A and B are shown apart, each in its own frame.
Chain A
Amino acid sequence: MTLATLVEGKELLETVVASTVAGIGVTFVFSVAIWGVARFADLSRNERPLAAAAAALAAGLALLATVAIVVLGILVMTSK
């Protein structure tokens, strides 16, 4: 009995990939959402409405993407 036969390599690899993609993916989109909110506040104060609207749009989309990833993650991870 070797270590290679004991380890469930494929499932472990999928766990590593899924964890990395989900963990970093959520962080990325949520950080973009916060960046968008912060930029929106700055640009609004500086009276640049178009740029502020673009930042708000980016924030909204990123927030939606965050929610989508979290919901999708829960559904996929628990659907076995």
Chain B
Amino acid sequence: MSSDVILVIVVGTALAFDFTNGFHDTANVVATSISTGAARPQVAIAMASLLNFAGAFISISVAATVANDVVNADVITPTIVFAGLIGAIAWNLITWSFGLPSSSSHALIGGVVGSAIAAAGFDAVIAEGLVGKVLIPALIAPVLAFSVAGLSIGLIYRIVGKQKPGTVTRGFKYGQIVSGGLLALAHGTNDAQKTMGVITLALIANGSLAAGADPPLWVIASAAAAIAAGTYSGGWRIIKTTGTRIIKMDAAQGFSSQGAGSAVILASTHFGFPLSTTHVINGGIMGAGAAKRFSAVRWGVAGNIVFAWVLTLPAAAAIGALAYGLTRIFGTGALGPVVVTLASLSLIVAVFARRAERGAPVAASSG
């Protein structure tokens, strides 16, 4: 009975994380389309939300990696997964409050790894999976998106550089509707699957599923719905950073960065790499900006984003470990997760209330 209560809390927390993932990552998907005027904000966000939902049903390779290749399922308990999720949500909200587009994916993996280490030592981590499927792709992906976007924009300017700007801009704005849609689909295939992977891991840990099992349909559908709802709610603070503060973009740059991002994410999803869409699209934006003019990129803002990226895994791991320690103070039953959930919710409400009191934007409608 107690383990079932913990499982319900874990599933609820995982879906809450998925919601914050969509909320946090909306910027990655729609910011370039909005900032170049290719789509109106509400239309872009609604389209991204629908395509995120659809994308979640396309593949389960990434979910399998998260469930089976990062931590040792034999030593994982639902409480460990719960604490990892708390670490990820906390880090997502911290970076959101500063307007930094850090990686929700790495926050999730960092949180689960941190709580697993706190619970069962370093043997709980599968080094091959963590390094080969998470850390190395994490380093390569933004560089790849940067290079592909840079080469693409160079090619675009060579081909259409002498044509009338009006026709070219209009054309790339139409193109951005497709490339933005493709990016939203790619985001759904990769990001929604991380939550599916974590819920599957909790189900395996609880004995409700056999080790190595694929996510059940209800897990896929609920993860898809949660990320779509989060995306629709939008994260306007980060949209502003991604869409206007890294570079001032034209439609061709928006198209090349979205095209590069989609290509990198879809290729990675095919091989089951749980990639950060945040890293990829920001790498693409920087590449499209730097190829036109190196000084066009506001490297100070870019530096802050890189700093948040570097911090994400260790910070989420530390918070995950702390959350596990707090949970265990109340024993191994359901009381720990219940208390930590209530404490976390109270903290979140307090932060939002304080922000609202100061008059800072807290929701899409205020952006």
Contact with A15, one of B159, B259, B262, B273 (Cβ below 8 angstroms): B273
B171 in contact with A37 (CB, 8 Å): yes
Q: What's the dominant secondary structure at chain B's contact region?
A: helix
B46 at the interface (CB under 8 A from A): no
B312 at the interface (CB under 8 A from A): no
Give the residues from 57 to 78 in chain A that come closer than 8 angstroms, CB to CB, to chain B. Answer: 70, 73-74, 76-78
User: How many interface residues does A have (CB within 8 Å)?
Assistant: 39
CA of A52 to CA of B272, assembled, Å:
46
**Given contacts A7-B132, A24-B155, A70-B178, is CB(A77)–CB(B266) below 8 Å?**
yes
B270 in contact with A78 (CB, 8 Å): yes
Nearest CB to that of A10 among chain B residues? Answer: B271
Q: Which residues of B contact A74 (CB under 8 A)?
A: 58, 182, 185, 266
Q: Which residues of A contact B68 (CB under 8 A)?
A: none
Q: Which residues of B contact A37 (CB under 8 A)?
A: 167, 171
Give B163-186 as 1s and 0s: 1 = Cβ < 8 Å from A's Cβ atoms: 110011001100100110010010
Q: Which residues of B contact A30 (CB under 8 A)?
A: 175, 255
Q: Which residues of B contact A31 (CB under 8 A)?
A: 155-156, 159-160
Nearest CB to that of B172 among chain A residues? Answer: A34
* Known A6-B136, A15-B267, A80-B272; further 17 A-B contacts with Cβ < 8 A: A1-B128, A6-B127, A6-B128, A12-B136, A15-B264, A16-B140, A19-B145, A27-B152, A27-B256, A31-B155, A31-B159, A34-B163, A34-B175, A35-B159, A74-B185, A77-B266, A80-B61
**Which A residues contact B (CB, under 8 angstroms)?**
1, 3, 5-8, 11-12, 14-16, 18-20, 22-24, 26-28, 30-35, 37-39, 41-42, 70, 73-74, 76-80
